[in-house]
Amino acid sequence: MKQGTFEKRLARHLDELRWLYMELYDNGSMFAELCETMRWYAENRRPVLRRRDDAREQDPGWYKRRNLLGMMLYIDNFAGTLNGVRDKLDYLEEAGVNCLHLMPFLDTVPERSDGGYAVADFRKVRPDLGTMEDLQVLTDACHRRGMNVCMDFVMNHTSSDHEWARRARAGEGEYQSRYFFFADPAIPAAYEKTVPQVFPTTAPGNFTWLPDCGHWVMTTFYPYQWDLNYRNPRVFNEMMYNFLYLANQGMDIIRIDAVPYIWKELGTNCRNLPKVHTIVRMMRMIGEIVCPSVILLGEVVMEPERVVPYFGTVDKPECHLLYNVTTMATTWHTVATGDARLLRLQLDTVAALPKEYVFLNYLRCHDDIGWGLDYPTLHRWGMEEVPHKKYLNAYFLGQVPGSPSRGELYNDDPTTGDARFCGTTASMCGMEIDPRRAVTQDVTLHAMMLFLSGIPMLYSGDEVAQLNDPSYKNDPARAVDSRYLHRGRLPWDRAADRHDAATPAGQVFTGLRQLETTRAGHPAFDASADVWTLDTGTDAVLGVGRWRDGEGLVGLFSFANAAHTVPLPEGCFENLLTGAVMEGAAQLPPFGFLWLKEVADGETL
């Protein structure tokens, strides 16, 4: 490290970092320890990562470029091991992927993993996947190819198998103070009065009784995931050291999992409390001091008004990226209803936000789909919350006439109708029932996602229209969790058909690559572009406009099982994919789309 680099970076943030830390903990010795340990991690970053830090300090908006394309994947399901993923980098490059999100790979007990989100050791890779050395080799190989690497940092809780948890269970007070341990049942009961349940069907309650040590422990998600007590400065410091250790393995993006839950206070709902933002702001500064090439992706699965605060402010930023979860859920609502009005309102809300805010856009991820929609607006249109949720679930189960979709419910609560939904993108589009329609709809939905501002993220297998995998039901450890329906192994025999235009895999793969390549070549797809929705003359067709540097684009996306004639804005337009020129109106096939560029009369692309 260049002489004084750490000191300069620290000096930029020291006053605010100290003020926030002391406000939270009032512990000067622990703050001094934090600063010294940060120095150690900065000095022990490998030279190749230091050069990456220097370059990205000069190019802080690198993650806002229109050519970024992500893919999230489970290492074992994709290629077996970390070394197997490295062997498949040619495939990922061919798919256009340059941002690789590795789903949880840290050490865990398989029977109590929740897909890897119950971490037993933050410094160790799950043995069947490889080692930390393998991870470094993979990240270096990705960087040489211009690929970024993202990982999950599970900071709300540890596994009950973590060393801290084992020592807490054995009665060591120091370690019990790192969690929420209570011998008096009245305290957990008081929390339960105000804290909602995350999984009321499969994991009811927010506490777990430990008969061997006579204590209750807070477990917001599952009984084997023990919530960390960030009121204890030792917890914050040690978790930041884990964060920096993982950053030093070559990460470019660190996804902070379940971040709204990390601060708990009795008498509240223990969600989105102000001190959560204090912690995230400190994480942002610690990263900029030690590893400024690393950015934060916040997992905040809530409506926009609760999501946006996690960006922080222009002067005091927090997360660099957030998930556009409401648009994802609203997209599937639109598929089921053929009504794009709510989606249009959602996109108008996002478009009105500052352009500094960068969202990660996706159609599917590893998790279930929760129907967190704008029900007050739907109520005005005659759609009530509980019946509408039941309708959506029935549609994607294939129980509504005309629906080809196939999937399964997750955490079905017949009383509230608050079930969530599982299925791959292809299966939710009906690939098993009507492949021709499903291919068209699948590509159209991806075309819409790619037309939005932000980073588009594919879910592994979507590039080849992977189907649901019901074989999880044969595994007793997974059979109770229907999310494994869309977490199946990548069918490499299906991927081998990606160049065969006669197959759904080939049609989707080729369609997505054409879209991704086109997107990268037009400045109006930049995050800084002006974006608005258009009046298409029908609720069944979504229209979106984009403008930057003199380039105007129009995207039209049909959710209708019938052809539509859609009026165009004034001017002449050329199809970005076929070169066809049109003006006045455009013909849209059932479930089809158009990407159009405004051109002068007689001009061609």
- 457, 604 Cβ separation under 8 angstroms: no
Per residue, the 3-state secondary structure of 105-133, as one string, reads CEECCHHHCCCCCCCCEEEEECCCCCCHH
Q: Name residue, tokens 């990705």.
A: 142
Distance, CA of 427 to CA of 433 (rounded, Å): 9
Alpha-helix residue ranges (DSSP H) falling in 358-475: 375-380, 385-396, 425-428, 435-451
Q: Does 192 qualify as catalytic in the annotation?
A: no
Nearest residue to 177 via CA among 233, 96, 118: 233
> Residue 337 is inside which H or E element, if any?
helix 325-337
Active-site pick, 152, 257, 288, 339: 257
Query: Any bridge partners for residue 158, and if so which?
Result: 226
Nearest residue to 292 via CA among 9, 550, 590: 9
Q: Does 497 qualify as catalytic in the annotation?
A: no
- Biggest alpha carbon–alpha carbon distance for the chain: 81
Strands 420-422 and 530-534, bridge-based pairing: unpaired
Active-site pick, 107, 227, 299, 481: 299
Alpha-helix residue ranges (DSSP H) falling in 459-503: 492-495
Task: Locate 145 and state its tokens.
Answer: 């190819």
Query: What number of other Cβ atoms are within 10 A of residue 165's Cβ?
Result: 24
Nearest residue to 567 via CA among 540, 595, 547, 543: 543
Distance, CA of 470 to CA of 487 (rounded, Å): 10
Distance, CA of 544 to CA of 453 (rounded, Å): 11
Nearest residue to 597 via CA among 344, 583, 588: 583
Sign of CA dihedral 594, 598, 601, 602: negative
DSSP, collapsed to helix, strand or coil, labels residue 541 as strand
List, by residue number, the catalytic residues. Answer: 257, 299
